């Protein structure tokens, strides 16, 4: 079954180079009066509406804008419980500390499989309704072998990518060194069948540089791709470690010194933007604007990172403590209005940038899986149609419900 979506006023392909690129001649990855043909789960054709081939079905976009679906490369959706009181306290002036994770851990351990599965499915549905078509989520509220394995298995049922975050927090009462050993040993073994990635919260109050190094080494040796929560609450070794270990992404990055920015930029030396096949990807800096707002933290320096030549992703960090929203549209709006990005830069960071952070961009070794985060022939048919003539409206009309239709792997989701 094929579907022609035509009369697209503005098609933001985010596809800049490579053989499948349409010859647009209209600036970086944007086509006007465009059309797309979906065939099964893949994109079969991209070009001008006037040249579009026939298909089994037709959807008239009536001049609206189409972008790749959001690629949300950072979320924590497997949890139970509520942290409204902590949020209220923070808004009343109390500082955020990593310890609130323990509250969610207790509630998550107490929840049944069925309850967690229902909560997770509801959160994924909310994300998709907001235009997210490719979603990473993490463990990290089990913090015990059986509970981490359960979280990983449930996440694998619901999300596109699963990350092992046993190293989220040392549980109350546990010895930090012994717990780190567990994360690197029996817990890693238990989650391994369900996850592609591992992550560590390298921060004062969570895991030290030395402990983080042990976690990253063990997980890399187990064949997992690496990610790091780093430099969120203050300056620290997270960024440096992420680059040293060749992590796909370091996330938060609020407090960066010149050496951190230079290390990130250096990881992208030799990269041709757009990702021609074979270009080695470096370490993406993933900014989490909703989290910065929700913790009243200084916004991550996304503008400075882009200017330095670092590839940036925007993600929701949806979690019950510091960013209880999966709205990537809100994050994009914030990145434009408060972080100094242009609309095209922000949209790119939340689509192609997320794909880069998950190594699912075109040119990545994707185990035969289709590329996401950009619109080109052969990529997964993940489209976000706005009730607006251009992506600019995401920032120009902040907070408006602009998501009009969503296709995920060729399936109409909304
Ligand atoms: Zn996080």
| 67-115 residue pLDDT tens | 999 999 999 999 999 999 999 999 999 887 766 888 999 999 999 999 9
Helix (H, G, I), strand (E, B) or coil at 236: coil
Please check the confidence at residue 274 and state whether its pLDDT lies above 60. no
The highest-level CATH class for domain 2-68+373-412 is: mainly beta
Residue 20: is its pLDDT beyond 50? Answer: no
**Cα 322 to middle of ligand 1, angstroms:** 9
Residue 52 alpha carbon to ligand 1 centre in Å: 42
Q: How far is CA 167 from the centre of its chain?
A: 19
Domain with CATH 2.30.40.10 in the chain: 2-68+373-412
More confident residue, 279 or 223: 223
pTM of the complete model: 0.96
Above 90 in pLDDT, residue 31?
A: yes
Q: pLDDT at position 98, please? A: 64
Q: What local confidence, expressed as pLDDT, does residue 365 receive? A: 63
The percentage of the chain sitting over the pLDDT mark of 70, rounded to a whole number, equals 94
Q: How far is the CA of 30 from the centre of ligand 1 (A)?
A: 32
323 CA from centroid of ligand 1 (Å): 9
pLDDT interval class at 29 (50, 70, 90): confident
Higher-confidence residue: 273 or 266?
A: 266
What distances in angstroms separate CA 183 from CA 213, 266, 307, one per listed residue? 12, 30, 37
CA 182 to CA 160: how far, in whole Å? Answer: 26
Show the CA angle centred on residue 153, arms to residues 101 and 170, nearest 5°: 25
pLDDT at 241 over 90: yes
Residue ranges of alpha helices (H) inside 100-144 are 101-110, 113-129
Closest CA to 30 of 310, 394, 402, 374: 374
Torsion over CA: 246, 255, 322, 348 (sign): negative
CA of 408 to the centre of ligand 1 (A): 24
Dist CA 17 CA 31 (whole Å)? 14
pLDDT band at 23 (very low <50, low <70, confident <90, very high): very low
Mean pLDDT for the stretch of residues 286-292: 98
Q: How far is the CA of 275 from the centre of ligand 1 (A)?
A: 26
| Alpha carbons 74 and 358: distance in angstroms, whole number | 9
Which residues lie closer than 8 Å to 43 by C-beta, 6 or more apart? 36, 37, 375, 376, 377, 378, 379, 380, 381
Interval 192-206: pLDDT, tens: 999 999 999 999 999
Q: How many CA atoms lie within 13 A of 105 on its CB side?
A: 23
Per the CATH hierarchy, to which homologous superfamily does domain 70-357 belong? Metal-dependent hydrolases (3.20.20.140)
pLDDT category of residue 18 using cuts at 50, 70 and 90: very low
For residue 384, the CA-to-ligand 1 centroid distance in Å is 25
Q: Pull the structure tokens for residue 144.
A: 């015990």
User: Would you say 383 and 35 are in contact if contact means Cβ atoms under 8 Å apart?
Assistant: no
pLDDT of 279 strictly over 80: no
Distance from the CA of 253 to the center of ligand 1, in angstroms? 11
Reduce the DSSP state of residue 298 to 3 states and report it. Answer: coil
Torsions phi, psi for 2 (to 5 deg): -115, 150
Contact between 217 and 167 under an 8 Å Cβ cutoff? The reply is no
Residue 4 Cα to ligand 1 middle (Å):
38
Question: What is the structure's pLDDT at 278?
Answer: 57
Q: pLDDT above 90 covers what percent of the chain?
A: 87
What mean pLDDT is reported for the chain?
93
- The pLDDT, as a whole number, for residue 95 is 84
State residue 281's pLDDT score: 87
Instruction: Report how far residue 198's alpha carbon sits from residue 376's, in angstroms, rounded to the nearest whole number.
Output: 30
Section 351-373 average pLDDT: 88
Range of weakest confidence among 34-38, 100-104, 314-318, 323-327: 100-104
Q: How far is the CA of 10 from the centre of ligand 1 (A)?
A: 33
Ligand 1 midpoint to CA 381 (Å): 27
- Strand positions, DSSP E, 81-185: 132-138, 161-167
pLDDT (average), residues 280-301: 96
No. of helices (H) and no. of strands (E), the chain: 15, 16
Per-residue pLDDT reduced to its tens digit, 166-192: 999 999 999 999 999 999 999 999 999
**Alpha carbon distance, N-terminus to C-terminus of the chain:** 18
- Quick check: 54 pLDDT over 70? yes
Q: How many residues does the chain have?
A: 414
Mean pLDDT for the stretch of residues 308-323: 97
pLDDT score of 25? 39
How many Å lie between the centroid of ligand 1 and the Cα of residue 50?
45
- At residue 215's C-alpha, the angle toward residues 214 and 217, to 5°, is 65
Between 279 and 16, name the one with better pLDDT: 16
Q: How far apart are CA 176 and CA 211, in angstroms?
A: 9
User: 168 alpha carbon to ligand 1 midpoint, in Å?
Assistant: 9
DSSP 8-state class, residue 178:
H
Task: Examine the pLDDT at 22 and tell me if it is beyond 90.
Answer: no
Instruction: Give the residue range(s) of CATH 3.20.20.140 domains in the chain.
Output: 70-357
> Which candidate, 354, 404, 411, 319, places its Cα nearest to that of 129?
404
Provide the pairing of β-strand 2-12 with 65-68.
parallel
Gap between the Cα atoms of 316 and 408, Å rounded: 18
């Amino acid at each position: 079954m094929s579907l022609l979506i035509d009369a697209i006023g503005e098609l933001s392909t985010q596809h800049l180079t490579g053989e499948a690129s349409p010859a647009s001649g209209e600036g970086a990855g944007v086509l006007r009066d465009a059309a797309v043909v979906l065939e099964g789960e893949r994109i079969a054709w991209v070009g001008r509406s006037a040249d579009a081939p026939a298909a089994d079905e037709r959807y008239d976009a009536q001049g609206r804008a189409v972008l790749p679906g959001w690629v949300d490369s950072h979320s924590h959706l497997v949890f139970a419980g509520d942290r409204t009181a902590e949020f209220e306290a923070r808004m009343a002036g109390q500082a955020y500390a990593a310890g609130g994770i323990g509250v969610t851990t207790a509630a998550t351990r107490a929840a049944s499989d069925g309850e967690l599965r229902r909560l997770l499915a509801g959160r994924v549905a909310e994300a998709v309704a907001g235009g997210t078509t490719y979603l990473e989520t993490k463990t990290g509220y089990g913090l015990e072998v059986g509970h981490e394995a359960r979280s990983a298995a449930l996440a694998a049922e619901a999300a596109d990518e699963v990350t092992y975050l046993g190293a989220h927090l040392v549980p109350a009462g546990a010895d930090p060194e012994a717990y780190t050993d567990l994360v690197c040993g029996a817990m890693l073994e238990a989650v391994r069948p369900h996850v592609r990635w591992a992550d560590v919260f390298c921060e004062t109050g969570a895991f030290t540089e030395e402990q983080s190094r042990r976690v990253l080494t063990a997980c890399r040796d187990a064949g997992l791709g690496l990610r790091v929560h780093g430099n969120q609450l203050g300056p620290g070794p997270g960024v440096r470690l992420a680059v040293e270990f060749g992590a796909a992404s370091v996330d938060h990055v609020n407090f960066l010194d010149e050496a951190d920015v230079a290390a990130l930029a250096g990881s992208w030396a030799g990269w041709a933007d757009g990702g021609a096949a074979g270009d080695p990807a470096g370490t993406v800096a993933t900014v989490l604007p909703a989290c910065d707002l929700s913790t009243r933290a200084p916004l991550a320096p996304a503008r400075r990172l882009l200017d330095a030549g670092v590839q940036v992703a925007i993600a929701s960090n949806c979690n019950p403590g510091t960013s209880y929203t999966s709205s990537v549209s809100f994050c994009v709006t914030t990145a434009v209005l408060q972080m100094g990005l242009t609309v095209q830069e922000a949209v790119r960071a939340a689509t192609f940038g997320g794909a880069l952070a998950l190594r699912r961009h075109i040119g990545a070794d994707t185990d035969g899986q289709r590329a996401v985060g950009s619109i080109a022939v052969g990529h997964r048919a993940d489209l976000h149609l706005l009730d607006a003539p251009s992506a600019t409206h995401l920032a120009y009309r902040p907070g408006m419900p602009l998501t009009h239709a969503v296709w995920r792997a060729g399936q109409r989701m909304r």
